[in-house]
Amino acid sequence: MLGVCVRTKDGFEIFKQFEYIDWGLHFCPYNKNMENIVGFHAPIVDLGIPNNNSLSILKNTVDMVSNYDYLTLHITNGKEPDLDVLISNLSELVDYAKKRNVKICIENLKDGFSSNPNNLIEIADITDCLITYDIGHVDYKDRIKYVDIFSDRIYNVHVYEKEVPKIGHIAPKNLENLRPVLDKLLDIGCDFWFIELMDIEDIIRTKNMCEEYLKEHR
């Protein structure tokens, strides 16, 4: 399955052309008129801080998306978490979501606690959640290693060239740098990918390249 992420505050009508959509609640409110949504990215909160309302926000989000497949979230905001609080909050959220048939996926980030793959897989194993693997948050040389570490916990993947500070997500000119990690993902049976870019032309071009790549491997 190859889809696209909606990460915009306006102009989202153009995304109706795509068959599979990951809707970013951290950019825009849920729009019931948008068809083809399969899952969501949660609002940005921090589950590793004591005595805040992050857990209740995410439980409310799960209630809102309970007719859909998954909810991807950032477990921290880059700060070093209180591990006991993080594990307690995430475990409670995962159990809450399972009762509503929503899969919880935690995403690797570019910096901080969630940029360390060993941290992420440990949390995923303890809480029995899944992982959204963001390729662009990882240096080229480490991308296959992350797949090996995350392995069968990977549920879906954000695909783009890389994230650049103060610029954002960069589209690939070709798949030369992405091909090794895409090959590895197919080797473990993961082809649930979403193009995560802002510019619609970049999205379409990257999606077309990935579609051609997948045709070669079927």
- Residue extents of the structural domains in the chain: 2-216
Instruction: List all residues 6 or more positions away from 76 whose beta carbon is below 8 Å from its beta carbon.
Output: 46, 47, 48, 86, 109, 112, 113, 114
Q: In terms of pLDDT, which residue wins out, 52 or 172?
A: 172
pLDDT of residue 106: 99
Q: Is the pLDDT of residue 184 over 80?
A: yes
Token digits of residue 166: 């103060």
Percentages of the chain per state (helix, strand, coil), in multiples of 5: 40, 20, 40
Q: Is the pLDDT of residue 9 over 90?
A: no
Token digits of residue 56: 């209740």
Mean pLDDT score across all residues of the chain:
95
Q: Span 157-177, mean pLDDT?
A: 97
Among 6-15, 66-75, 115-124, the least confident range: 6-15
Q: Is the pLDDT of residue 10 over 80?
A: no
Q: How far apart are CA 63 and CA 67, in angstroms?
A: 9
81-96 per-position pLDDT tens digit: 999 999 999 999 999 9
Task: Report CA-CA distances (Å) from 205 to 27, 112, 144, 195.
Answer: 22, 31, 24, 10
Q: What are phi and psi of 107, to 5 degrees?
A: -105, 140
Q: Span 158-183, mean pLDDT?
A: 97
Q: How far apart are CA 120 and CA 108, in angstroms?
A: 7
Largest Cα separation within the chain, whole Å, is 51
Q: Confidence class of residue 190 from pLDDT cuts 50, 70 and 90?
A: very high
195-217 per-position pLDDT tens digit: 999 999 999 999 999 999 999 98
Query: Please, are residues 114 and 74 in contact by the beta-carbon 8 Å criterion?
Result: yes
CATH 3.20.20.150 fits 2-216, yes or no: yes
Token digits of residue 214: 């997948």
Q: Is the pLDDT of residue 12 over 80?
A: no
**117 alpha-carbon distance from chain centroid:** 14
Q: Span 156-182, mean pLDDT?
A: 97
Pairing of strands 70-73, 103-107: parallel
Q: Span 141-164, mean pLDDT?
A: 98
Q: Confidence class of residue 100 from pLDDT cuts 50, 70 and 90?
A: very high
